[in-house]
Amino acid sequence: MRWLLLIWLGLCLPTWAGPDYALTPRQIADGTWLLEGSTDNFAKDNGGNIVNTAFIVTEAGVVVIDTGPSRRYGQALRQAIAATTDKPVIQVLLTHHHPDHVLGNQAFSDVSIGALAGTTQLLREQGDAMAENMYRLVGDWMRGTEVVLPNQVLVPGPLKVGGHSLRLLELAGHTGADLAILDETTGVLFAGDLVFYQRALTTPNSPGLEVWRQDLDTLQALPWKQIVPGHGPVATDPQPFAQMRDYLGWLDQLMRDGAARGDDMAEMIRSPIPQRFAGISLSRYELIRSVSHLYPRYERAGMTRVDAHDPD
């Protein structure tokens, strides 16, 4: 009788379909489609869809740039691609290891998932903890999501795919292992999280703000026509670079001055935010995080060793 009851319950109870990302690709260049995320923080009402992902339809097949924050997102992305083209997905390129960019990998485990060697290592070290944190932040959107490591090591240089000439760049400012992709065929630059636009940048793995500013110089010097930031709207002018440099310069000077005065971390997170950054999403939230990530380095750099001087 028990098995009859279980069958009856299975027939009567609704199947859990889960929330829907309702991804809608927008064409931004020839064969190039963007799925633009919110500039909000991770939340249960957005499922972690705060990231820009994209795909390029080539004669040989589809190239996907980042897979999103969950298995469900990755599945929705594949469905959006299938609704756009009958070309098969043949390549995934991951810009870096942060969870909103890579936890959709499960939906692409049948194709080459390429990343820089450093990205794979960071995902191996941090992926499970990041996934657990995402479960806490967005709940059921993450159901069934597991970390899938890249299966292809990318190296900087040219990559030809079905008539599109891609240039892969290995940079470091955001995480220590950051891939940027310039489609030389269309002029679209996929900057990953080396560029945030109208959304405050995140710093948990940054090797240093000076490294990041050097990367911006490298990217801006490329022959791009459009820039796709990791977070925020697409641009056809250099304003994202100007905003990034301005913000990084302010953040760096703020922490240098604070360390020189001997301010503690609690004082630093209460620092006023310049009016020109008032319209940038999550400025206060990310200032608090950046101080916690970076300020101890500035404090150490400003310390004088007691044994640094010769005795009298």
Mean pLDDT score, 225-234: 98
Handedness of CA 145, 69, 134, 45 (dihedral sign): negative
Give mean pLDDT, residues 281-306: 90
pLDDT tens for 118-173 read 999 999 999 999 999 999 999 999 999 999 999 999 999 999 999 999 999 999 99
SS3 at position 17: coil
User: How far apart, in whole angstroms, are the C-alpha atoms of residue 78 and residue 36?
Assistant: 15
**pLDDT, mean of residues 162-185:** 98
Provide the percentage of residues in the chain whose pLDDT is more than 70. 91
pLDDT of residue 302: 77
Q: Where are the domains of the chain?
A: 20-238
* End-to-end C-alpha distance for the chain, whole angstroms: 93
User: What is the C-alpha separation between 274 and 121, in angstroms, rounded?
Assistant: 37
**21, two tokens:** 């990302």
Residue 11 banded pLDDT, cuts 50, 70, 90: very low
Q: Which residue has the higher pLDDT, 15 or 62?
A: 62
Let me know how long the chain is: 312
3-state secondary structure of 139: helix
Q: Taking residues 89-110, report their average pLDDT.
A: 98
CATH topology of domain 20-238: Metallo-beta-lactamase; Chain A (3.60.15)
pLDDT of 18 reads: 65
Tell me the C-alpha distance between 119 and 28, whole Å: 27
- Residue 114 token pair: 């390429």
State the pLDDT confidence band at 51, using cuts at 50, 70 and 90.
very high
Chain-wide mean pLDDT for the chain? 92
pLDDT confidence of residue 4: 38
Per-residue confidence at 2, pLDDT binned at 50, 70, 90?
Answer: very low
Average pLDDT for residues 205-217, to the nearest whole number?
A: 98
pLDDT surpassing 60 at residue 13 = no
The pTM (predicted TM-score) of the whole model is: 0.91
Average pLDDT of the residues in 105-124: 98
Q: Encode pLDDT of 23-48 as tens digits.
A: 999 999 999 999 999 999 999 999 99
- Residue 304: pLDDT band (50, 70, 90) is low
15, pLDDT greater than 90? no
Residues 84-98: pLDDT tens digits?
999 999 999 999 999
Instruction: Give CA–CA dist 307/184, Å, rounded.
Output: 55
pLDDT at 278 (0 to 100):
87
